[in-house]
Amino acid sequence: MADIDVKRTHALGLEGARAAAERMSDALSRKFDLKGKWSGNTLTFERSGVSGTLDVTAKDLRLAVTLGFLLKAMKGSIERAVNEELDKVLAAKPAAAKQAAKPKTAPAPKKKGG
């Protein structure tokens, strides 16, 4: 049974959610020295005292983390960090989507004779 089990719905689609999961994986890898491996749409990760999975679908992300004995005492702070990172990656748009979302405006016409 997972010590931390977080499920979040999203409207990113599968490709966007997978990109968000990659960003989250990179951030958590730096913070907690986790090593992960994708198998389909499931990221399995581990390090000494921590193991888990991140399942990605077109509609939700589900993170299940099992903590070793020593890290169980830090469950609250680890869970907060995970939730904060999920908030960031699910709210962030990839650069291409940001660019496409910008409205295109035509230059203002120049006045004659000033």
pLDDT digits (tens, 9 = 90+) for 16-35: 999 888 888 887 788 778 88
| CATH number for the domain whose boundaries are 4-92 | 3.30.310.50
CA 37 vs. chain centroid, Å, equals 15
**Residue 93 — pLDDT band, cuts 50, 70, 90?**
low
The secondary structure element, H or E, covering residue 81 is helix 75-91
Q: Which helix (H) or strand (E) holds 75?
A: helix 75-91
pLDDT tens-digit series, residues 65-92: 999 999 999 999 989 988 888 888 888 6
Report the side by side order of strands in the sheet with 4-9. 4-9, 60-67, 50-56, 42-47, 35-39
Question: What are the sequence ranges of the domains in the chain?
Answer: 4-92
CB of 92 closer than 8 Å to CB of 23: yes
